[in-house]
């Protein structure tokens, strides 16, 4: 601090030299009293300050002809945009709320939303949302053909997922890490069992075989750790040990899937609406991020084979439209399968969507990796961290923070692209809503508008939520490590 | 742990910590290190100087495999530096490095920067790692900044953290690559003071630096490099007062001339 004062002093001297009466022959200039602290002008604080800075500052300069022109232009366009916004928003509110038909107590169905001209009771020229239609179709829009008696299973899945997700996101709660791990490991298995009913026909032989294979691999890993396996095979043994645990985990998941929980099996063909959209989007989002990270690391790897494979993979999936991928999954894939093997259409679409967005994710993450200074890699190497340690602890945390906007962009894109699965006969939110429009019992001129409005609002809520959360994360991460 | 064989053929005895024999390195066509022979004893303080681009950084970066040499042998702490990842890991555990641009990890606090390697590489328990980190942060005189982030510190403080981070691994050898040349003049002294203290404690150090005062004060040996070769090495007094080669004389006159 003191040093700063010494440095600053000569500057003041030169600035004030012009005032001759203040000059002390020895010191040049010495301030005897502190300059007073003055309150800020009204243009800096309060509501007027805000209004001035954000709105009027840009249109209050009339100093010259060009400045006047600019001010007038800004004022005019501000007024125009304001007018446009007010009319549009009031129109929307009127359509969705004020003029809308809210109830259909007499069970008139389409007639409840007809004007006099059309044979109903509403005034001619009426044009607004017909909510009883949505109310009648809500179950189909949200759950598709999922049996009504079993809707509790879907709701329970939502509630569990939402609860755990909220737990992970609220920072004051304890055990957030454990809940997060459960959310990524146990929850998907539970959700699968709850939604499908479980009790898949998996032979005990498969499960037993996987268990034995896993145990064997773990044993090899143990031997390697104890030093019984030498040289390059030692590393292979360690890899085998890790794979062994994965195989055991896989066997455990298979075993859970094989258990009969006495839930009615519900074919994925009966799933639909928001349920499908969420299943496809969330699986895609959760699986594509780690896959994308691995692909990005592989593409920047020093191993030519890994680099080549990852590059080919990424370029292939990026070069093919998602619609083509979905068509291939639904039409082409069965042709290559042996007769009788028929794996679930939804699963095929899920894999297609995941791989597709993993390729995009990989490029986003690669951008982040490229922004990391070479010194960070060297710093991590120099303290002795291994490749995976330095990636996990040093490089990825920084790289991913840099590209949060890009990652969330890909997530949002994926969420909206799920609407494409309706092309291969899976009734996602949009598909389900569209199919309700075919119901003649509700046929009115506003039927389509109302249905699409609901779909748009649901999509918007989810995407906007992701966007806001990402901005919150960005701010939080920036706060923690920038000065 | 299989101890690498210390045969006479390697000419590595217990006292020697670094031994480079006929080391050559190329960047593509460019021959950066030419026939380097260098042996450093435990506890020795070496200063490496020379004109820009003469290969000083490359030389010390070869000692912990930040750069790969193509020809010749390098032994560090009795371990041969070759393509074996195990050897490289073992050497990096024993060799600390301080960079010109600090290379602290900006997303971790000062304390976490220092605890990271002991925890993950040495498998030190967390509490003990924290103790070690605070010990070395105290030694470089910034324990009170432990919870801050690198971006909130001045350059001199960051460089001292970088030194503490390297020391937390309790290395046998410290490499410094122009640790003061990215700093404002007023901060150079605090970093040099830290390095002098470290030298006085008996740490083996190889420093690339143009701080000739520091070289005179602590170095046991000054090495002058030009065009990828070691041109001259001598004790500091003799090196500065009575340089042998014309290239050294020219370099010294340029660097001390103003
Ligand atoms: N990764 C690289 N690829 C190609 N050439 C390189 C690379 N790193 C360094 N060089 C070249 O090798 C030569 C020696 O570089 P080095 O960084 O070792 O010099 P230096 O003596 O440390 O110089 P300075 O005092 O400027 O730091 C320089 O000519 C440099 O251009
Ligand atoms: Mg250098």
A chain contacts of residue B89, beta-carbon cutoff 8 Å: 384, 386
Tokens coding B135 = 């010990």
Which numbered atom of ligand 1 lies nearest the CA of B228?
A: 14
Length of chain A as a residue count: 483
- Closest CB to B66: pick one of A382, A384, A389: A382
CA atoms of A275 and B51, how far apart (whole Å):
68
Query: Has residue A25 got a pLDDT over 80?
Result: no
Question: Is A80 part of a structural domain of the chain?
Answer: yes
Which residues pair with residue B73 across a beta bridge?
Answer: B21
Report residue A336: phi and psi, to 5°. -85, -15
Phi-psi region of A415 (alpha: psi -120 to 50; beta: other; left: phi over 0): alpha
CB contact set of A204 (below 8 Å; sequence gap of 6+) = A258
Query: Has residue A168 got a pLDDT over 50?
Result: yes
> Quick one: CA torsion of A185, A186, A187, A191, rounded to 10 degrees?
120
B120 lines ligand 1 (CB under 6 A): no
CB contact set of B168 (below 8 Å; sequence gap of 6+) = B114, B115, B117, B118, B129, B132, B133, B136
The three-class DSSP label of residue A202 is: coil
B125 lines ligand 1 (CB under 6 A): no
Among B34, B36, B51, B54, the mutation site with the greatest number of ligand 1 atoms within 8 A of its Cβ is B54
CA atoms of B95 and B167, how far apart (whole Å):
9
Given this model, what pLDDT does residue B8 score? 40
Tokens coding A194 = 């709850």
- Chain A closest-CA separation from residue B91 CA (Å): 8
For helices A176-196 and A274-299, angle between their N-to-C axes, nearest 10 degrees: 130
Q: Tens digit of pLDDT for each residue in B197-253?
A: 999 999 999 999 999 999 999 999 999 999 999 999 999 999 999 999 999 999 999
B chain contacts of residue A477, beta-carbon cutoff 8 Å: 107
Q: Tens digit of pLDDT for each residue in A232-244?
A: 676 778 788 889 9
Q: Could you tell me which chain B residue has the CA closest to the CA of A232?
A: B84
Question: Is A50 part of a structural domain of the chain?
Answer: yes
Residue nearest to atom 17 of ligand 1 (CA): B57
Name the residue among A300, A203, A218, A309 with its Cα closest to residue A257. Answer: A203
Question: Is A63 part of a structural domain of the chain?
Answer: yes
Q: What is the mean pLDDT of residues A355-368?
A: 95
Lowest average pLDDT, out of A40-54, A212-226, B164-178, goes to A40-54
Q: Which residues surround ligand 2, an ion (CB under 5 A)?
A: B 57
CB contact set of A149 (below 8 Å; sequence gap of 6+) = none
Alpha helix stretches (DSSP H) within A17-128? 46-51, 65-93
Question: Is A140 part of a structural domain of the chain?
Answer: no
Which residues pair with residue A483 across a beta bridge?
Answer: none
Query: Has residue B147 got a pLDDT over 60?
Result: yes
Q: What is the mean pLDDT of residues B57-82?
A: 93
| CB pair distance less than 8 Å for B92 and A382 | yes
The three state secondary structure string of chain B is CCCCCCCHHHCCCCCEEEEEEEEEEEECCEEEEEEEEEEEECCCEEEEECCCCCCHHHHHHHCCCCCCCCEEEEEECCEECCCCHHHHHHHHHHEEEECCCCCCCCCCCHHHHHHHHHHHCCCCCHHHHHHHHHHHHHHCCCHHHCCCCHHHCCHHHHHHHHHHHHHCCCCCEEEEECCCCCCCHHHHHHHHHHHHHHHHCCCEEEEECCCHHHHHHHCCEEEEEECCEEEEEECHHHHHHCCCCHHHHHHHHHHHCC
| CB pair distance less than 8 Å for A480 and B116 | no
Given this model, what pLDDT does residue B3 score? 45
Question: Is A49 part of a structural domain of the chain?
Answer: yes
Q: What is the ipTM for the molecules in this complex?
A: 0.92
CB contact set of A157 (below 8 Å; sequence gap of 6+) = A190, A191, A194, A195
| CB pair distance less than 8 Å for A376 and B105 | yes
Given this model, what pLDDT does residue A86 score? 95
Which numbered atom of ligand 1 lies nearest the CA of B50?
A: 21
The structure's pTM equals 0.84
- The number of domains in chain A is 1
- Chain A closest-CA separation from residue B2 CA (Å): 11
Alpha helix stretches (DSSP H) within A342-446? 345-370, 374-382, 387-390, 396-402, 404-417, 429-436
| CB pair distance less than 8 Å for B105 and A394 | yes
Buried-state track A225-235, b at ≥16 Cβ within 10 A, e below 16: eeeebeeeebe
| Chain A residues within 8 angstroms (CB to CB) of chain B | 3, 373, 375-376, 378-386, 389, 393-394, 397-398, 401, 477, 480-483
Question: Is A113 part of a structural domain of the chain?
Answer: no
Q: Categorize the per-residue pLDDT at B12 as very low, low, confident or very high, splitting at 50, 70 and 90.
A: very low
Query: Has residue A278 got a pLDDT over 90?
Result: yes
Given this model, what pLDDT does residue A14 score? 45
Given this model, what pLDDT does residue A152 score? 93
Given this model, what pLDDT does residue A229 score? 67
The end-to-end CA distance of chain B, in Å, is 53
Mutation target to probe the B interface, by most B beta carbons within 10 A, among A7, A382, A398, A404 is A382
Tokens coding A312 = 């080919």
B chain contacts of residue A401, beta-carbon cutoff 8 Å: 107
- The ligand whose atoms approach the alpha carbon of B56 most closely is 1
CA atoms of B198 and A348, how far apart (whole Å):
63
- The string of DSSP letters for A80-99 reads HHHHHHHHHHHHHHIIIIIS
Q: What is the mean pLDDT of residues A338-355?
A: 82
| CB pair distance less than 8 Å for B117 and A384 | yes
Q: With contact defined as beta carbons under 8 Å apart, do A390 and A380 qualify?
A: yes
Query: Has residue A340 got a pLDDT over 90?
Result: no
Question: Is A474 part of a structural domain of the chain?
Answer: no
- Chain A closest-CA separation from residue B173 CA (Å): 12
B54 lines ligand 1 (CB under 6 A): yes
Q: Tens digit of pLDDT for each residue in A201-232?
A: 888 888 899 999 999 988 888 887 777 766 66
For A121, A295, A298, A303, B42, the CA distances from A309, given in Å and listed in that order, are: 66, 9, 8, 10, 47
Given this model, what pLDDT does residue A26 score? 63
Query: Has residue A338 got a pLDDT over 50?
Result: yes
Report residue B104: phi and psi, to 5°. -75, 160
Residue nearest to atom 2 of ligand 1 (CA): B27
Given this model, what pLDDT does residue A12 score? 43
Higher pLDDT, A425 or A467: A467
- Closest CB to A383: pick one of B106, B121, B152: B121
Q: β-pairing, B71-76 with B79-80?
A: antiparallel
Tokens coding B248 = 């050294």
- Residue found by looking up tokens 């901005």 in the block: A471
Question: Is A76 part of a structural domain of the chain?
Answer: yes
| Chain B residues within 8 angstroms (CB to CB) of chain A | 64-66, 89, 92-93, 95-97, 99, 101-108, 116-117, 120-121, 149-152, 165-166, 169, 186
Q: Which domain holds residue A68?
A: 36-98
Give the distance (Å) from ligand 2 centre to CA of residue B67.
13
Query: Has residue A268 got a pLDDT over 60?
Result: yes
Given this model, what pLDDT does residue A393 score? 95
- Chain B closest-CA separation from residue A465 CA (Å): 26
CA atoms of A427 and A434, how far apart (whole Å):
9
Report residue A130: phi and psi, to 5°. -115, 85
Q: With contact defined as beta carbons under 8 Å apart, do A398 and A480 qualify?
A: no
């Amino acid at each position: 601090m003191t040093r700063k004062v010494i440095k600053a002093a000569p500057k003041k001297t030169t600035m004030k030299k012009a005032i001759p009466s203040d000059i002390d022959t020895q010191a040049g200039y010495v301030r005897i009293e502190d300059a007073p602290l003055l309150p800020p002008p009204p243009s800096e604080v309060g509501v007027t300050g805000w209004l001035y800075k954000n709105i009027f500052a840009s249109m209050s300069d009339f100093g010259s002809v060009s400045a006047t022109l600019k001010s007038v232009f800004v004022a005019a366009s501000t007024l125009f945009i304001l007018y446009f916004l007010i009319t549009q928003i009031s129109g929307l509110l009127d359509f969705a709320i004020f003029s809308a038909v809210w109830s259909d107590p007499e069970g008139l169905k389409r007639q409840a939303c007809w004007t006099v001209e059309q044979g109903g009771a509403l005034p001619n020229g009426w044009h607004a949302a017909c909510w009883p239609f949505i109310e009648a179709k809500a179950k189909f829009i949200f759950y598709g053909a999922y049996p009504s008696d079993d809707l509790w299973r879907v709701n329970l899945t939502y509630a569990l997922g939402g609860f755990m997700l909220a737990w992970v996101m609220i920072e004051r709660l304890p055990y957030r890490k454990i809940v997060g791990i459960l959310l990524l490991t146990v929850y998907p298995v539970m959700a699968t069992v709850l939604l499908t009913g479980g009790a898949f026909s998996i032979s005990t032989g498969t499960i037993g075989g996987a268990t034995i294979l896993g145990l064997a691999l773990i044993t090899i890993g143990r031997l390697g750790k104890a030093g019984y396996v030498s040289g390059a095979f030692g590393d292979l043994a360690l890899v085998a040990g890790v794979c062994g645990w994965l195989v055991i985990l896989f066997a455990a998941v298979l075993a859970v899937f094989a258990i009969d929980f006495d839930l009615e099996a519900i074919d994925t063909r009966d799933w639909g609406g928001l349920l499908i959209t969420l299943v496809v989007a969330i699986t895609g989002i959760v699986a594509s991020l780690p896959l994308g990270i691995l692909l990005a690391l592989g593409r920047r790897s020093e191993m030519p084979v890994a680099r080549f494979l990852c590059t080919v993979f990424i370029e292939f999936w990026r070069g093919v439209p998602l619609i083509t991928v979905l068509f291939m999954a639904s039409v082409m894939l069965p042709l290559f399968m042996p007769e009788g093997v028929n794996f679930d259409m939804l699963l095929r679409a899920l894999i297609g969507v995941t791989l597709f967005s993993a390729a995009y994710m990989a490029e986003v993450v690669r951008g982040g990796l490229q922004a990391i200074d070479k010194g960070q890699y060297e710093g991590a190497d120099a303290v002795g961290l291994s490749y995976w340690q330095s990636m996990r602890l040093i490089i990825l945390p920084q790289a991913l923070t840099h590209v949060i906007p890009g990652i969330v962009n890909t997530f949002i894109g994926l969420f909206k692209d799920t609407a494409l699965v309706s092309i291969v006969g899976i009734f996602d939110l949009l598909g389900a809503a569209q199919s309700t429009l075919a119901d003649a019992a509700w046929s009115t001129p506003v039927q389509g508008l109302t249905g699409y409005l609901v779909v748009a609002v649901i999509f918007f809520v989810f995407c906007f939520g992701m966007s806001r959360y990402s901005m919150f994360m960005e701010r939080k991460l920036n706060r923690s490590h920038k000065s | 742990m299989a101890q690498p064989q210390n045969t006479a053929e390697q000419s590595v005895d217990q006292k020697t910590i670094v031994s480079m024999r006929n080391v050559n390195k190329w960047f593509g066509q460019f021959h950066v290190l030419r026939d380097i022979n260098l042996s450093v004893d435990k506890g020795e303080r070496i200063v490496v100087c020379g004109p820009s681009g003469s290969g000083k950084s490359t030389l010390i970066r070869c000692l912990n495999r930040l750069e790969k040499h193509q020809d010749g042998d390098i032994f560090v702490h009795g371990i041969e530096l070759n393509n074996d990842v195990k050897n490289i890991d073992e050497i990096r555990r024993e060799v600390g490095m301080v960079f010109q641009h600090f290379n602290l990890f900006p997303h971790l606090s000062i304390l976490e920067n220092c605890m990271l390697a002991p925890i993950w590489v040495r498998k030190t328990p967390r509490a003990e790692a924290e103790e070690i980190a605070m010990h070395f942060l105290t030694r470089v005189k910034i324990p009170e900044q432990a919870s801050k982030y690198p971006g909130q510190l001045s350059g001199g403080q960051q460089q001292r953290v970088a030194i503490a981070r390297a020391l937390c691994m309790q290395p046998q050898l410290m490499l410094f690559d122009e640790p003061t040349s990215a700093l404002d003049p007023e901060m150079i002294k605090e970093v040099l003071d830290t390095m002098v203290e470290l030298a006085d404690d008996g740490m083996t150090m190889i420093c690339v630096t143009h701080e000739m005062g520091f070289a005179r004060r602590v170095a046991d040996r000054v090495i002058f490099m030009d065009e990828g070769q070691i041109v001259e090495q001598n004790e500091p007094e003799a090196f500065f007062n009575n340089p042998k080669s014309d290239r050294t004389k020219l370099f010294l006159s340029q660097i001390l001339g103003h």
